[in-house]
Chain A
Amino acid sequence: MSADGHAREHEADLHTRAIESLLLEKGVLPEGAVDAVVHAYEHDIGPLNGASVVARAWTDPDYRERLLADGGAAVGELGFGGLEADHLVVLENGDGVHNVVVCTLCSCYPWAVLGLPPGWYKSPAYRSRMVLEPRTLLAEMGLELDDSVEIRVWDSSADIRYLVLPRRPAGTEALSEEELAALVTRDAMIGVAEVVP
């Protein structure tokens, strides 16, 4: 980096630290608030869009059909995705079939509906083992599937991103769409977990 570049970064660093320290001292932001945001976006985050899509698919059979036919368009109906949606394919879990998503080459991920990818999704271990031994790895991650269930592993790429449409748990008939969405986890939409009521 040039001397100018260093100076600019240094200035930016000073200003950011100054703003943060002042906001903390004045009680505008509590201790840990900024850390929590950064941590969430780096590790955890915001699959709320995807959850809304899943809940809509569970409660609206026509929407479900459109979602399975053209994921990007259907997701767009709810206002998600936009210019960066890429080609989204939705995979429906059903009797005897369980779908799980990986990106063996890098860490392609449908962030428009799932926020940022979790750290483990980006790990070499996940990326290689999910293709080689999905049943074992899923069990290690807490999802034990009966031998009779076919596991389909889908490899994402820059061109195609996958979203798993998990099975709607039993006993949720009385729940509203919003309540259903609250049950849906990012892990279930990647395929390493099921949705529990």
Chain B
Amino acid sequence: MTVDLAGDAAPPRRNGELVFEFPWEARAFGIAVALRSRDHYAWDDFRVRLIDTIRANEQPYYASWLQSLERLTLERGLVAAEELEARVAELEHADAHDHAD
């Protein structure tokens, strides 16, 4: 299992190790790679999208990663926009509820 990303698209590393600042970054990384390994898209599809997103935005690397992942999954019909929106709202509500206790 190798992830070929160089130049602009290279994930942040420290001493050669991938660096995830937040847990969601690792999850987003894992989801993207897992989907590719099941042939839901070619790695190049993701990579090109990632590079374009990085170049078009001033934002942390994994923000571009997540954006690319989200767009690709929507485009490939793996999730639908409405259900994604609904699920985000659900989780937000559940989180707020927990914190309020």
Contacts and interface: CB of A to CB of B under 8 A. Distances in A.
Given A37-B1, A83-B6, A107-B16, A19 B79 contact: yes
Q: Is the interface of B mostly helix, strand, loop or mixed?
A: helix
Interface in B1-53: 1-3, 6-7, 10, 13, 15-18, 22-31, 33-35, 37-38, 40
B1 A109 contact: no
Contacts of B16: 107-111, 116-117, 161
Contact of A22 (B3, B24, B29, B83): B83
* Interface range for B: 35 or more
A73 to B, nearest CB: 17
Given A14-B92, A34-B27, A37-B29, A19 B73 contact: yes
B34 A14 contact: no
A122 B13 CA distance: 14
A3 interface: no
A13 interface: yes
A106 B14 CA distance: 10
A111 B1 CA distance: 13
A108 B13 CA distance: 11
A190 B34 CA distance: 27
Interface of B: 1-3, 6-7, 10, 13, 15-18, 22-31, 33-35, 37-38, 40, 62-63, 66, 69-70, 73, 78-79, 83-84, 87-88, 90-92, 95
